[in-house]
Amino acid sequence: MSILQKIREKTYLALIFVGLGIALFVIDPSSIFSGSQRGETHVGVIAGEKIEGQDFELKVQEAIENYKANYQQANIDEATKEAIRNQTWEQQIQEIVMGAQHEELGLSVSAEELFDMIQGPNPSQQVRQAFGNPQTGEFNPGNVIAFLKRMDEDETGETKKRWLAFERDLKKQQVYTKYNTLVKKGLYITTAEAKADNVAKNKMASIRFVAKRYAASTDTTVAVTDAEIKAYYAANNYKEQYKQDEAVDLKYVAFDIKPSDDDNQAAKKWIDKTTEEFKLTNNDTLFININSDKPYAAAWYAESALPAAVDTLKKAAVGTIADPYLEGESWKVAKLLGTKMAVDSVKARHILLKVEGGNAELVKAKADSLKKVIKSKNNFAELAKALSTDAGSGANGGDLGWFKEGVMVPSFNDACFNGKKGDMPIVESQFGIHLIEILDRSKESRKLNIGTIERLTEPSDKTFQNIYSKASDFSTKNRTLEAFEAAATEAGYNVRIASNIKPMESKVAGLDNPRPLIQWAYNTAKKGDVSDVYEVGSKYVVAVLAEKYEKGVKPLETIKEELEAEVRKQKKAEQFVKEFEAVLAAKPSIEDLGGKMNAPVETAQNVVFSAGSIPGMGKEPEVLGTIAALKAAQVSKPVIGLSGVYVVYVDNVVEAPEVTDFTALKKQLEQTLASRADYEVYEALKDKAEVKDNRVKFY
């Protein structure tokens, strides 16, 4: 891998943590972003700062072009663009949220510090990775200096642009590192905290308990009024479980765009006509490449590997054509282009030598020298272990075992399958220079070269129109949720449900690229509205907005059943506490308490406070806290838990071992806090920034 390529990769660094690099082309902002249908021009608000859509789109395009250059792709698919857009948004949030912190603290990277990070005695990890040996990880400072001296030789200026972007990213990451280091250095565990942690992890109690579980009591015995539900909601709606993000629920019917019988017959008619022409052609591969939906594949097949539909070619003469056949959604016709005797598999080993700086001929010369040494000393395995850059096979003396034709890269494959046992060919591939030794070859068998013309059966314009008309008729005649569901049931359509779809979701169950449908749901539709027809992948879709959730506290009516269950549980708990207290007034033993409460006495051994759960109870933090405060032979008051009401008797307590020096424990706890600091500090600042994401109006 070239140094420039590694710099490209380091420059991109996941987009969430570093910069996006430099735009590789000139963008006209006015032609990219014209605002939403509502006249808005900003894609969101971060910490009170409006993010103009025009500026944001420029950043997205820069990132896309940077990605193409880094991975040498002329085009990228929509899913990748969507991922880059989301990463760009996250980076925008981070730059504003964290940038304010960095500025307030005066954090920066001086020119001297940057120089030290690149060429100093202890360069940054990113520099070490970019200029290190990819096989050994060894870093040579001279490589950095040599690269910088050669940088201006690139007349296009591309190398210098990449280097400047790399420098900017180094500076950004260094500032982040400084900030996170400041936070971590401010973390401190007191001796009291360390003592408490020691007790929580090591103090154990063995208990007996009597439980009255809510599930054992019939719900019908406890009446709940609307007023009680409202009062509970008012007192508890701050809890996390009653909060929600902005989301929608959709119900939809999909009309698959599939070829009709007429389309299938048209494809069959075409393949029949082409078959006759295939018989007469003098250039089979050219004819296949011109006419087939898939190009000619130069592969040789064993007779046993041929599809049953072309069995007639197994013993046929070259030039024979089998009858056309349907496979999946394609009509095919196959012709025997040639036969030969060849092996099924080869056993080989190799030494892979890396080519760096374009010096392939020098590396080939080295491979030739190794070949002479091996023939003289028979030490292939020894040299493979020492020199091969293929670490996997190198550890086994270069041995690749047995492999079938087509498994290896073409040049390697051809050398092995066209050679003889004992041959030592030298070939070049995208991985480097291979010195190969053919160790063995399987028995030869008859191979067939089959040329296939394929015609995919695709929907015609008429088919598209017919399916669209069907979907449009359904949408036009059923404009409410009730009508939508009734008509779908009557027609036997499968109504699918897509729940909790967030504004910037890129996937919906069963649908490819559903962004236009999601935009409709957020920007146009009201609850109960039915959409027009949307073309989504290979389907026409008609949807209804079943539910729309605003960010904040869930409305009472949407969680009324859940609240009713909680109120009922609360009332049961109050009743159970009174029952327990009435019996406990006589100070019975734990066994007598169980008998009078008509409940078994259960046990739990070695209960540890930090465990989070109790055998026989499950997750019961209130009970755990109560146990931690009890001494041996003590009985608790009734404790209201998550699953029931409990009375606990402590049989035995094993105190935590005495610790006189808490230095190691404090350091361990501080390290645990530090491991959470980077993420949790950022998330807290992000939450405080009150980010408003309006991108669904535009994308």
The pLDDT of 224-239, averaged and rounded, is 95
Q: What is the CA 56 to chain-centroid distance, rounded?
A: 24
Residue 329 and residue 268 in one domain: yes
Distance of alpha carbon 680 from alpha carbon 4, whole angstroms: 35
Q: Determine, yes or no, domain membership for 21.
A: yes
Residue 50 and residue 172 in one domain: yes
Q: What is the CA 619 to chain-centroid distance, rounded?
A: 31
Contact partners, residue 471, CB within 8 Å, separation at least 6: 253, 255, 533, 540, 541, 542
Residue 169 and residue 271 in one domain: no
631-639 contacts at long range (C-beta below 8 A, 24 or more positions apart): 635/584, 635/590, 637/581, 637/584, 638/576, 638/577, 638/580, 638/581, 638/584
Residue 93 and residue 173 in one domain: yes
Q: Determine, yes or no, domain membership for 682.
A: no
Distance of alpha carbon 74 from alpha carbon 243, whole angstroms: 44
Position 106, amino acid = G
Q: What is the CA 679 to chain-centroid distance, rounded?
A: 18
The pLDDT of 660-682, averaged and rounded, is 94
pLDDT at 137: 67
Q: What is the CATH number of the domain that holds 404?
A: 3.10.50.40
pLDDT at 10: 45
Q: Are 104 and 170 in contact (CB under 8 A)?
A: no
Q: Flag whether pLDDT at 347 surpasses 90.
A: yes
Q: What are the structure tokens assigned to 85, written together?
A: 């857009």
Neighbours of 159 (CB within 10 A): 18
pLDDT at 134: 63
Distance of alpha carbon 22 from alpha carbon 168, whole angstroms: 10
Residue listed under structure tokens 């409006």: 50
Distance of alpha carbon 253 from alpha carbon 533, whole angstroms: 10
The pLDDT of 26-33, averaged and rounded, is 41
Q: Of the given ranges (146-160, 254-268, 461-475), which has the lowest mean pLDDT?
A: 146-160
Q: Flag whether pLDDT at 682 surpasses 50.
A: yes
Q: Determine, yes or no, domain membership for 375.
A: yes
Residue 464 and residue 517 in one domain: yes
pLDDT at 356: 79
Residue 44 and residue 111 in one domain: yes
Q: Determine, yes or no, domain membership for 190.
A: no
pLDDT at 297: 87
**What CA dihedral angle connects 180, 186, 191 and 192, to 10 degrees?**
-90
**What is the DSSP annotation of 479-498?**
-SHHHHHHHHHHHT---EEE
pLDDT tens, 423-475? 999 999 999 999 999 999 999 999 999 999 999 999 999 999 999 999 999 99
Q: Give the residue from 377, 412, 442 where a domain finishes.
A: 442
Residue 21 and residue 138 in one domain: yes
Q: How confident is the model at residue 402 (pLDDT cuts 50, 70, 90)?
A: very high
β-strand pairing of 247-256 with 539-549 = antiparallel
Q: Determine, yes or no, domain membership for 70.
A: yes
Bin 616: left if φ > 0, else alpha if -120 < ψ < 50, else beta.
left
Question: Would you call 28 exposed, middle or buried from its count of C-beta atoms within 10 A (0-12, 13-18, 19+)?
Answer: exposed
Give bridge partners of residue 433 from the DSSP assignment: 353, 428
Q: Determine, yes or no, domain membership for 96.
A: yes
pLDDT at 135: 58
Contact partners, residue 229, CB within 8 Å, separation at least 6: 556, 560, 563, 564, 567
Q: Give the residue from 550, 572, 596 where a domain finishes.
A: 550
Q: Are 637 and 200 in contact (CB under 8 A)?
A: no
Distance of alpha carbon 606 from alpha carbon 205, whole angstroms: 5
Residue 97 and residue 225 in one domain: no
Residue 469 and residue 528 in one domain: yes
Distance of alpha carbon 539 from alpha carbon 493, whole angstroms: 14
Q: Of the given ranges (184-198, 302-316, 367-381, 416-430), which has the lowest mean pLDDT?
A: 302-316
Residue 40 and residue 144 in one domain: yes
Q: Give the residue from 384, 415, 442 where a domain finishes.
A: 442
Query: Average pLDDT, whole number, for the chain?
Result: 90
Q: What are the structure tokens assigned to 43, written together?
A: 């894609």
Q: How confident is the model at residue 668 (pLDDT cuts 50, 70, 90)?
A: very high
Contact partners, residue 659, CB within 8 Å, separation at least 6: 194, 195, 198, 665
Q: Flag whether pLDDT at 528 surpasses 80.
A: yes
Q: Flag whether pLDDT at 12 surpasses 90.
A: no
Print burial letters for 473-486: b (CB count within 10 Å at least 16), e (below 16). Answer: ebbeebeebeebbe
Domain count of the fold of the chain: 5
Distance of alpha carbon 543 from alpha carbon 511, whole angstroms: 12
Cα separations in angstroms, 677 against 14, 165, 434: 20, 28, 48
Q: Flag whether pLDDT at 363 surpasses 70.
A: yes
**What is the DSSP annotation of 76-139?**
--HHHHHHHHHHHHHHHHHHHHHHHHHHHHT----HHHHHHHHHSSS--HHHHHHHB-TTT--B
Q: What are the structure tokens assigned to 414, written together?
A: 């051809």
Q: How confident is the model at residue 25 (pLDDT cuts 50, 70, 90)?
A: very low
Q: What is the CA 322 to chain-centroid distance, rounded?
A: 45
Distance of alpha carbon 432 from alpha carbon 364, whole angstroms: 9
Q: How confident is the model at residue 162 (pLDDT cuts 50, 70, 90)?
A: confident
Residue 233 and residue 304 in one domain: no
Give bridge partners of residue 692 from the DSSP assignment: 45
Sign of the C-alpha dihedral computed for residues 269, 275, 281 and 283 taken in this order: positive
Q: Determine, yes or no, domain membership for 688.
A: no
pLDDT at 31: 41
Distance of alpha carbon 335 from alpha carbon 451, whole angstroms: 5
Q: Determine, yes or no, domain membership for 675.
A: no
Distance of alpha carbon 107 from alpha carbon 100, whole angstroms: 10
Residue 309 and residue 166 in one domain: no
Q: What are phi and psi of 160, to 5 degrees?
A: -65, -40
Position 659, amino acid = V
The pLDDT of 644-661, averaged and rounded, is 96
Q: What is the CATH number of the domain that holds 471?
A: 3.10.50
Q: Of the given ranges (71-75, 114-118, 313-317, 689-693), which has the lowest mean pLDDT?
A: 71-75
The winner for highest mean pLDDT among 68-82, 198-212, 299-313 is 198-212
Residue listed under structure tokens 């992948």: 537
pLDDT at 9: 45
Domain that holds residue 392: 345-442
